[in-house]
Amino acid sequence: MRLGWGEPARAIYAVYSTQCHQMAQRSFFLFGPKAMYSAVELGTLAGVANDPLALRAFTGSAELGWKVAWSDRMVSMYTSLLAFALLAWPFRKRLTPLPIWAFVLLALPMALDGGTHLLSDVAGIGQGFRDQNTWLAALTGSLLPRSFYAGDALGSFNSWMRLLTGTLFGLGVVWTAFPHLERALAPVDRDWPSVFPSPASPLS
């Protein structure tokens, strides 16, 4: 979209929409003045109606920047998959897989956070219990600024939870699946020289 390649960009948004809600107030924006916008800001600056379908359909503008085709949670999940895969590579021969119960524990925060977001949105965007998080303010004695408790802006509780739970899920996937892949591919790695032997030395 930044380069004016509208059709390829819309194709990317369409493909990624099968994997993600793509709601603009929970997505990063590139090439604009801010990395994220609240639903109220999007309503004021872009005239986006305060409903999930409108927020999903809004891809950005030259003034606000262009929406990343995955939400911030999906960005953290896939970025952490790559990061933890690279970190695990030097230890791949010694890394033991997590048991399934441990993987479930790492995935559970994302399921709980995403599930409560979904339930909260039933009341309407900006109207549910996850919008103001008064329960969290009560638990913490309102020690933190109101901007931490309310909304989805970068740095808010909701934003931190999406980033952290996505990262935990990425860690769980790598730690559980990659050791199994390493063991499954070990015979291939061992037999590779016999399948493709090195050229004979000219002096032999």
Domain span at residue 153?
Answer: 73-186
Residue 20 inside a domain? The answer is yes
Could you tell me which residues are beta bridge partners of residue 29?
67
Tell whether 66 and 166 lie within a shared domain. Answer: no
Distance, in Å, from the CA atom of 15 to the CA atom of 175, rounded to the nearest integer, reads 28
Tell whether 111 and 170 lie within a shared domain. Answer: yes
Distance, in Å, from the CA atom of 58 to the CA atom of 35, rounded to the nearest integer, reads 15
Residues 159, 152 contacting (CB under 8 angstroms): yes
Instruction: Please give the chain's pLDDT, 204 residues, in tens.
Output: 999 999 999 999 999 999 999 999 999 999 999 999 998 899 999 988 788 899 999 999 999 999 999 999 999 999 999 999 999 999 888 889 999 999 999 999 999 999 999 999 988 888 899 999 999 999 999 999 999 999 998 999 999 999 999 999 999 999 999 998 888 887 655 555 555 555 554 554
Q: What are phi and psi of 51, to 5 degrees?
A: -140, 155
Residue 53 inside a domain? The answer is yes
Tell whether 61 and 31 lie within a shared domain. Answer: yes
Tell whether 96 and 156 lie within a shared domain. Answer: yes
- Given 30, 47, 71, the domain boundary residue is 71
Q: What is the pLDDT of residue 201?
A: 47
Tell whether 64 and 85 lie within a shared domain. Answer: no
β-bridge pairing 60-61 and 27-30: unpaired
Tell whether 138 and 48 lie within a shared domain. Answer: no
pTM comes to 0.83
Residue 143 inside a domain? The answer is yes
Residue 21 inside a domain? The answer is yes
